[in-house]
Amino acid sequence: MSVPTTIQSNQVPLQLSTDGVTYKSVVCKKSWNFNGTTPVNAEETDCGVEKGLGAVDWTMDFEGVLNTTPNTGTEMSAAAVTSLWVNQTLTYIKTQTGDGVTPNMYIQGSGYITDFKVTNSVGNLIAFSFTFNGVGTPDITI
């Protein structure tokens, strides 16, 4: 068996943009998840059960620790993410490995932040999380 080539989580930030050109990394990442689904519509007929596929649907979830002093040139804070959610701003999302020219893993698309949450648990740092609901089909390479 060959030695696997793995990707370290800290090498794959989640980035947001309001113009699809200038992206900022959301800080301080604990985790992000990509969730893709395709609805299945089933019809029972005398020929058997026939199935049709609906449109691709996708979301991304993010969880991070609240940082009140991000690098304003390259990082996006929870406050900025809150503004995107409150103002229902069309937002562009991207995550990739490497130099961006030949990434090993790449996900990009547009959509809206539809859920935003701040968590304060005793003994822990204040955290925030959000769900990004994609519009259309994501550009994805894994």
Q: Can you tell me the distance from the alpha carbon of 69 to that of 4, in angstroms, rounded to the nearest whole number?
A: 37
Percent of the chain with pLDDT over 90: 80
Burial of 85 (0-12, 13-18, 19+ CB in 10 A): middle
Beta bridge partners of 115: 131
Work out how many domains the chain is built from and give that number.
Answer: 1
Burial of 52 (0-12, 13-18, 19+ CB in 10 A): exposed
Given a cut of 90, whether residue 136 has pLDDT beyond it is yes
* Amino acid 100: pLDDT: 59
Given a cut of 70, whether residue 5 has pLDDT beyond it is yes
| 4 found inside a domain | no
Percent of the chain with pLDDT over 70: 96
| 55 found inside a domain | yes
Confidence of residue 46 (pLDDT cuts 50, 70, 90): very high
| 42 found inside a domain | no
Range of the domain at 80: 10-37+48-141
In this predicted model, what pLDDT tens digit does every residue of 89-131 receive, in sequence order? Answer: 999 999 988 665 666 789 999 999 999 999 999 999 999 999 9
| 5 found inside a domain | no
Given a cut of 70, whether residue 79 has pLDDT beyond it is yes
* Amino acid 101: pLDDT: 60
**pTM score over 0.75:** yes
Give the CATH number of the domain where residue 70 resides: 2.30.110.20
Q: Can you tell me the distance from the alpha carbon of 119 to that of 100, in angstroms, rounded to the nearest whole number?
A: 33
